[in-house]
Structure 1
Amino acid sequence: MMPTWSTACLDWKQRIVNRQSLVTFDALFPAEAEAALSIFRDLRIIDVPGRPTIEQCCLPWVYDLPRALFGSFDADGISGDDNLGRRLIRYFFLCVAKKNTKSTLAAGIMVTALLRNWRESGEFYILAPTKEVADNSFFPARDMIRADEELLKLLHVQDSQRLITHRTTGAFLKVAAADSETVSGKKTIGLLIDELWLFGQRANAESMIREAEGGLNSRPEGFVIYATTQSNKPPSGIFDQKLKDFRDIRDGKLVDPQSLPIIYEFPEEMIKSKAYEKPENWFIPNPNWGKSVDPNFLIGKRAEAARGGKASLIDWDAKFLNVQAGMSQRADGWAGAELWDRGIDTSLTLDAVLDRSEVVTMGLDGGGLDDLLGAGVVGREKVTKRWLGWACALISTIGLYRRKANLTEYRKFIASGDLIVFRFHSKDAEEAESDPDVAALLAEFPPAISVEGELPFDIKFVVDLVAKIRDIGLLAQVGVDAAGIGAIVDALAGIDITQDAETLDAVRQGIGLMGAYKTVERKLGDRTFLHCGSELLNWCVGNARVVLTTTASRIAREEAGFGKIDPLIALFNAAHLMTLNPEAGGLSVFDTMGDDQDPQSDAESAASLAEEAAILGDPQHPRFEEMRERVNARLAANDTDEFYA
């Protein structure tokens, strides 16, 4: 009879605080689980005084993963003939703070799997981003064998080759180099991927891991263990993808009974309230608290990290408290990142911004061959005068190739429609598109192609977008980098968007944008700047860092050049123009100064509108309904189709 189980753990917040197991089901096949655990428990850890066994020096949590892994193997086809020799749970994600015996636990599981394996010449691998990381699991496995005479008779250890071979079955456990060519063609039964967070920073990691896991297709008893601590930077690449997926499985948002998450982290509420900073709560991400984890050591080291500054503290919290570094936690990050979530309004599509705005400014940035071309739009909302922001980006296939480290992020942005890929007609494009990783992405998302005789696709896209906003009477100005791409300026001139017409402005970059990004910071703080909250923009905000000069500051990306910020800078360019208080059609309020109007009447009108805007910006205000009805009545009297919701 087929067993039933769920790998979700909906009450994990209560369980983790109460030090209960994060695995909510019993072993699917108890006899298999116990046979494996009888081996696992007796493995010795030689770098602990007295060479204790795992059972003697670890807490009960260490059995959750091996019990579930080995206990999901249907050796006798009990759950149906089709499942004979099949493992019903195949993917395991262990995320825990440093020094909780993560690598030692994984080593014990791999040795146990090698001993329990029935397939001759079976292949088991440890895949790690560096030799040093791989050794963190290989050396404990080697030492467990050498500490047991019986195991030494069964298993042959070859240090120089990082290889352990079963003398009877010929099955082996081997460290594999982290590259696609090395892992290609493996018939993997068991795969340990250690420190997944480091793979997240590698360009080809997703493709390489997919290749390494491919052997499970012909090995129904196969399994993969992803073991990791948190990253000291916002999660990226394959690590970000797996972390989100396994969290969703844990939370019941994604149903996948073949995948089991075991994640020791603080509940979000404890992060927001700063409760994670209290030592009495540090047992939560440290399940081996009091054993391999020394509380007094952690207290002293965190105080030391705090004295070292924000960057040191972020790194320490990520490693020893398993706290995810957010986009607001860069030591040199933009202050607005801490407030960014306040402004999220997911209803703000481009059309929504245009529908709700009385005037719009637009900014452009980037556009090199290996760069994003960012387009940002800021609208001033009717009545409330709040700023509404939206952005998108374009990238060539050459840019995909030259920035392969970002492919995982780019795939998400393309899928959401916030990033558009296009093709340049050149030999460089042919070379880029022949790359396997780029080709795989383009097979999923074919690039847009320029029409012969027309502007390049990215330039045409920008021109069409500007024309759309202008033609509905909302465009005030377009802001471009003064040192930007001349082809864009020339193309905009073709639709009469020029500096002479005062519809194009060369926005000073560097410290020249300081006023714009500080204005956005303040508006995020008082919730008068709303934005679309796209993953693309969120990523750019996390990448933005502030570089201080003697008398000012400027926004920059990380030195390596992979963390792009072009769409954010485009948004700041548009924000700079909006600070000039423009009117649609390129007119500023300064253009109407001196008109023959009653000053007292103007002052009263301005005060009234300011009061309306302030009240409508706060739905909790006691006069909100009164003011909403007043505004809607005025709009109706003016015979417009708009109304304030």
Structure 2
Amino acid sequence: MHTTEDQPRFACPDWWEKLQACETPMADVPLNREKAAKALAFFNRLRLPDVPGNPTLAEACGDWFRDILCAFLASEDPDTKQRLVWELLCMVPKKNSKTTYVAALGLTALFMEEAPNRQMLIVAPSQNISERCFGQAQLMVQSDHKLAEIFKVQEHLKCITRRKTGTQLDVKTFDTSIVTGEIPILTIIDELHELGKAAKATRVMQQIRGGGITKQRGQVLMITTQSDEAPAGIWRTELDKARAIRDGKAGASPIMLPVLYEFPREQQVNQDYWRDQQNWKCILPNLGRSIDPQALIDDYENNGKVNKETEQIWASQHLNIEIGVGLGGDGWSGALHWSSCIDGSLTGLDALLARSEVCTIGIDWGGADDLAALYVIGREKRTKRWLGWGRAWGRNTVFEQRKSIASRLREFEQAGDLVVSATGEEQAASAAEICKRVADSGLLPEQAGIGLDSAGIALLLDALEELKLEQPLVQAVAQGWKLQTAISSVPLKLEDSRFLHGDQSIMSWSVGNAKQELKGSNYVVTKQISGAAKIDMLMALFNAAMLMFQNPEAKQEAAYQMLVFG
């Protein structure tokens, strides 16, 4: 067992032991007992509107959600008497009644709030989900005549108002203009993972959280299943933050309480483990309540196991298995360790050059409807660790022809990791300039310092030649099974923290997208295997790695040190 003494706030080192014991996987939170009792009393009297007999939540709801309710609405620092939980992220698989429960929590919060004329929000990613959420809350009110006296329901506005205070609970579909006027004192976001696919979701979250720095402050509860794609955007950010808090790696006093129903990474990549139906109960808190155990097994056997793709999606939704973490055995093996090899000081190319004794550059070029990518690997002085940084380019046609990933590409553009160019010549010139910067540093070897996939590189070769970057410095790198050394050996460096990177979101996305396949005696990662998902940055990394494995020496490393450090 893990000790919980002297842990940062909301750290829960024994979360897996709690899940195995069918307990709520969250830290112990000090409560205002009077508030908690009042919240529970109201919540428990609410009735499930879509279940025969309309049982009360006292009968039908699992204790796991009551733990969440009390922690969110009644947390209190025993010394300062101030609220502790300002944000809460719950990740729980499908069919655990999360939409119904958060509708009930919203009503409970509305009943508990005594401040007049405030605003509360429940935000859903689609109209269907928002209508269901509002419908559940509306029917809960209508099924109890006493509640109908307390609340006024306006169906056309999807709004419920507490008559005594005038405070409103609005149910809305996600939109970039959703937050207008007064900042909500409480916001519930259903299916947060869907916002990872939405453009400008980060900006909307910042607007919602704007109330957190006012005197009245504002609470945010996020509840979701795992994504059926590799986590991205705001979902990737919030999930990583929640895991860091849970694991005690996010500072001493976070404001978010994580409640994550998921297997540890080791079990997620172990197919035999998560396919064992005896282990499912650990992460399905409503098993036997809203989830019929036999129906779940039948659905998996008849629908989830049709092929590898359907099994991946089924497992991501019903077991919270993260796509891109070796699911189904076909994710690139390095993905498991990528997020543990972040070096926050690697903020850009200059930081990498300053720490390196030699560099290699890998490039994977693309056409008008594709991305082009460049990745620099530096071998660190003294430690000999590898350091990584990259950049990608795309034309406007990429956004038109790859609409399913357009919002993500815009996020990478805003982060500065993706450059949108008007023409192929412009992006080739931009990439060549980066190569020139590294060459001028003296850190490239005389031969085999820039490695290219030879497909479609005419414009790039012209741009490199204009800057006097030619053979033998520039060389083609064989693709397919001949990249086996990089595909298999880079994960070993990541596992031992011998490869560090600056946590570029586009690179994490590319790593998560990659699929590997055993052909003969070699593992292969190609764009064909990985499908429509973009892996250009990773392919560029492989090209740079193949050159670095040759143990190169810098052409003018000593001269560069004198130039940089005087």
Deviation at 1:213, TM superposition (A): 2.9
Deviation at 1:208, TM superposition (A): 1.1
Deviation at 1:227, TM superposition (A): 0.5
Q: CA–CA distance in 2 between the matches of 1:18 and 1:405?
A: 38
Q: CA–CA distance in 2 between the matches of 1:5 and 1:518?
A: 42
> Which structure: larger Rg?
1
Q: CA–CA distance in 1 between the matches of 2:18 and 2:185?
A: 32
Deviation at 1:108, TM superposition (A): 0.9
- Give the one of 261, 277, 285 matched to 1:279: 277
Over 3 Å counting, the alpha-carbon distance change for 1:242 and 1:378 in structure 2 is closer
Q: CA–CA distance in 2 between the matches of 1:379 and 1:171?
A: 57
Deviations 1:287-314 (A, max 9, x none): 1221112211122222224531111111
Who is 2:536 aligned against? Answer: 566
Over 3 Å counting, the alpha-carbon distance change for 1:480 and 1:19 in structure 2 is closer
Who is 1:365 aligned against? Answer: 364
Who is 1:483 aligned against? Answer: 456
Over 3 Å counting, the alpha-carbon distance change for 1:345 and 1:216 in structure 2 is closer
Deviation at 1:352, TM superposition (A): 10
Over 3 Å counting, the alpha-carbon distance change for 1:556 and 1:262 in structure 2 is same
How many residue pairs align between the two structures? 521
Q: Secondary structure at the match of 2:120?
A: strand
Deviation at 1:241, TM superposition (A): 0.9
Identity among equivalent positions (%) equals 28
- Give the one of 430, 434, 446 matched to 1:461: 434
Does 2:265 align with 1:268? yes
Over 3 Å counting, the alpha-carbon distance change for 1:234 and 1:263 in structure 2 is same
Over 3 Å counting, the alpha-carbon distance change for 1:142 and 1:423 in structure 2 is closer
Letter in 2 for 1:514: G
Deviation at 1:195, TM superposition (A): 0.2
Over 3 Å counting, the alpha-carbon distance change for 1:398 and 1:98 in structure 2 is same
Deviations 1:564-606 (A, max 9, x none): 4332232444567799x899899xxxxxxxxxxxxxxxxxxxx
Deviation at 1:37, TM superposition (A): 1.1
Q: CA–CA distance in 1 between the matches of 2:443 and 2:269?
A: 43
Deviation at 1:214, TM superposition (A): 2.2
Deviation at 1:65, TM superposition (A): 1.2
Deviation at 1:401, TM superposition (A): 9.6
Who is 2:256 aligned against? Answer: 259
- Give the one of 59, 68, 73 matched to 1:70: 73
Q: CA–CA distance in 2 between the matches of 1:578 and 1:67?
A: 54
- Unaligned 5+ runs, structure 2: 1-6, 401-405, 519-523, 556-566
Equivalent residues in 2 for 1:512-591, closer than 5 Å: 513-518=479-484, 520-521=486-487, 523=489, 532=499, 534=501, 535-536=503-504, 537-544=507-514, 554-556=526-528, 564-574=534-544
Q: CA–CA distance in 2 between the matches of 1:464 and 1:20?
A: 55
Q: CA–CA distance in 2 between the matches of 1:149 and 1:256?
A: 43
Q: CA–CA distance in 2 between the matches of 1:277 and 1:93?
A: 26
Contact preservation (8 Å) 1:374, 1:394:
yes
Over 3 Å counting, the alpha-carbon distance change for 1:423 and 1:109 in structure 2 is closer
CA RMSD of aligned residues (A): 4.4
Q: Secondary structure at the match of 2:89?
A: strand
Letter in 2 for 1:565: I
Letter in 2 for 1:493: E
Deviations 1:93-133 (A, max 9, x none): 11111121211111111001111221222211111111112
Q: TM-score, normalised by structure 2?
A: 0.77
Over 3 Å counting, the alpha-carbon distance change for 1:90 and 1:399 in structure 2 is farther
Who is 2:562 aligned against? Answer: none
- Give the one of 180, 184, 187 matched to 2:183: 187
Who is 2:3 aligned against? Answer: none
Q: TM-score, normalised by structure 1?
A: 0.69
Who is 1:45 aligned against? Answer: 48
Deviation at 1:145, TM superposition (A): 0.6
Structure with the bigger RCO (C-alpha within 8 Å, sep 6+) is 2
Deviations 1:243-268 (A, max 9, x none): 11112212221233532111122233
Letter in 2 for 1:363: G
Deviation at 1:164, TM superposition (A): 1.4
Who is 1:108 aligned against? Answer: 104
Contact preservation (8 Å) 1:165, 1:171:
yes
Over 3 Å counting, the alpha-carbon distance change for 1:36 and 1:399 in structure 2 is farther
Deviation at 1:483, TM superposition (A): 2.2
Who is 1:593 aligned against? Answer: none
Who is 1:210 aligned against? Answer: 206
Does 2:116 align with 1:120? yes
Q: CA–CA distance in 1 between the matches of 2:377 and 2:28?
A: 51
Q: Secondary structure at the match of 1:283?
A: helix
Q: CA–CA distance in 2 between the matches of 1:40 and 1:529?
A: 47
Does 2:464 align with 1:492? yes
Deviation at 1:318, TM superposition (A): 1.4
Q: CA–CA distance in 2 between the matches of 1:11 and 1:103?
A: 27
Who is 1:439 aligned against? Answer: none
- Give the one of 11, 21, 41 matched to 1:18: 21
Over 3 Å counting, the alpha-carbon distance change for 1:469 and 1:300 in structure 2 is farther
Does 2:296 align with 1:298? yes
Who is 1:599 aligned against? Answer: none
